[in-house]
Amino acid sequence: MLEDTYGHTPVHKAFQQLDVYGIGYDERRANRIPIRLGIIGAGGVAQSKYFPAVARLRMIWEPVEIAAFSEPREEHGRKVQAIYGGQWYADYRTMLAEAKLDGVIILSPDNLHFEHTLASLESGRHVLVEKPITGSLVDAKHICNAADEHHAILMTVANKRYSPPYRRAKQAIESGSIHDPALFVGKFNLGYDYVDLLESGTIHLFDIARYLMGDVVALTAIGVNKYGRNRRKYPIDNAVITLEFASGAVGTIYTSASALNLKPWERVEVYGDHAWLSVEDQHELLIYDSEEGPTKSWRTVIPNTLLFDEEFGGYMGIIENFAQAIRGNDQPLVTGWDGYRAIELLRAVQLSLMSNSRVTLPLSDPHSADHEVKAWLEASGWPGKS
C-alpha cells in the first residue's frame, strides 16, 4: 500500500521523480503477478468506489483487473461493461462457473452477503465482502469457518483502516506520542432516514475502535427514538455507548440519525499520556503532544487536482491489500474475523439497549443474540413497509 501519500500523488513521485500525477512507469508494481477479480453486485458502491479504484490502481501500474461482474439489472450491467470493460453476467452463479477469477468482491445488498460469500468460497475463490459481513453472527461465523476450511482469504471491508488519516493515527499510537492510550471518543452521525443507524453507519466506528484500541471486553449502551422519523422503523435514532477495552482503556461512542447529514458527521479522538489526537471527518489528523509546541496537522487540500477519492476513502488500499494477500505478499489488514467482531459489537450494543445493562464480550451464544435482537427490531415495526 502507498505510504508517503495523503490521498494524492505520492511525495517521492511528485518531487523526486518529477511525476506530478503519479502515473510514471513503476517497475516494482508492474512486475507483480496479475490478479483477476470478479464483482457480485454492480450497484452504487461498486460504480462509485470500486470500479474507479481498480481503474486508478491500473493507471499506476498495478496488474489487477475486474475480469467479470454480475448484476441482475441489465441497464446497469451494460453501462458498467461499456465504461470499465469486463464480462457482464446477469447471474452470479454463471459468473462463478465460467469466469477465470482469483478473487471475488461481494458488493450485493447486505441480506445477500452470506449467500454470495459462501458460494464464492465454495467455488475456490478468495473473497472480499462489504460491511456488514453478514446480517447475523451465526452466518458470519459460518463463512469465517468456511474460509478457514477452504484455506481461502476472507477479508471484510473496513475501508477507513486504509484511509490516510486513520493510517497515520494508527502509526502515532503504535510508534508515536500517543502510545498506550487510555481513552477513545468517537462520533458518527447518519442523517439518512431510510437506513439503519448502527448497521449502516456506526459499525464503521466499532471497527475503528478495535483497530486503534484493541478488543472490547464490555460495553453499556443507552438510546432513544426521540423523533421516530426512520422509514424502516429502526427503534433508536440517538445512542451513547461506553466501551471497556482489554488493554484497560475506556471509551465512548455517540451516534445520531437525527443530525444533519451534509455537515460534519465523524470525529475520533484518542487520548494518551499528555498527548492526544483527533481525526476530523476522515480528512484531517491533528496531534497535540506538547503544551507549548505547535499542533501537528495533516490535512489534504480539497480543491486539488491531485486528490484521489479512490485512495483517500481507502478503496485503493483495501483492493491492493486483497490482491497482495492473494499473491502471498501481504497479510490482510482486516480479516473476516474482524468483520465478525464488528457484528459482535453491534449485537452487544443492541442487547444492552434492550436490557439497559452491561454486556460482556465475546458473546457466549451468537444464535440467541441474533434471535433476541431480531425480535427487538421487529417489535418496533422494522424493517418498515417494502
Rounded to an integer, what distance in angstroms lies between the CA atom of residue 38 and that of residue 292? Answer: 53
Report H helices in 302-363.
Answer: 309-312, 315-327, 336-355
Residue 256 bridge partners (DSSP): 189, 238
- What is the pLDDT, as a whole number, of residue 9? 81
Strand pairing class (284-288; 296-299): antiparallel
What lies within 8 Å, CB to CB, of 347 at 6+ separation is 137, 363, 366, 369, 370, 373
- What is the pLDDT, as a whole number, of residue 246? 98
- 8 A C-beta contact, residue 98 and residue 119: no
What are the extents of the domains in the chain?
11-159, 161-301+337-379
Fold of 161-301+337-379: Dihydrodipicolinate Reductase; domain 2 (3.30.360)
Q: Which residue has better confidence, 63 or 7?
A: 63
Average confidence score pLDDT of the chain = 94
For residue 256, give the DSSP letter: E
- What is the pLDDT, as a whole number, of residue 303? 54
- What is the pLDDT, as a whole number, of residue 117? 98
- What is the pLDDT, as a whole number, of residue 1? 65
- What is the pLDDT, as a whole number, of residue 5? 78
- What is the pLDDT, as a whole number, of residue 263? 87
The yes-or-no answer to whether 11-159 and 161-301+337-379 have a common fold is: no
- 8 A C-beta contact, residue 90 and residue 75: no
Q: Which three cell numbers stand for residue 71?
A: 448484476
Band of residue 241 on the pLDDT scale cut at 50, 70, 90: very high
Average pLDDT (27-46) is 97
Distances (CA, A) of 118 to 17, 97, 150, 362: 45, 14, 11, 24
- What is the pLDDT, as a whole number, of residue 305? 61
Band of residue 341 on the pLDDT scale cut at 50, 70, 90: very high
Q: Which CATH number fits domain 11-159: 3.40.50.620, 3.40.710.10, 3.40.50.2300, 3.40.50.720?
A: 3.40.50.720
Give the model confidence (pLDDT) of 75-112 as tens digits: 999 999 999 999 999 999 999 999 999 999 999 999 99
> What b-and-e string marks burial along 235-248, b requiring 16 or more CB atoms within 10 Å of the CB?
bbbbbebebbbeee
pLDDT > 60? residue 386: no
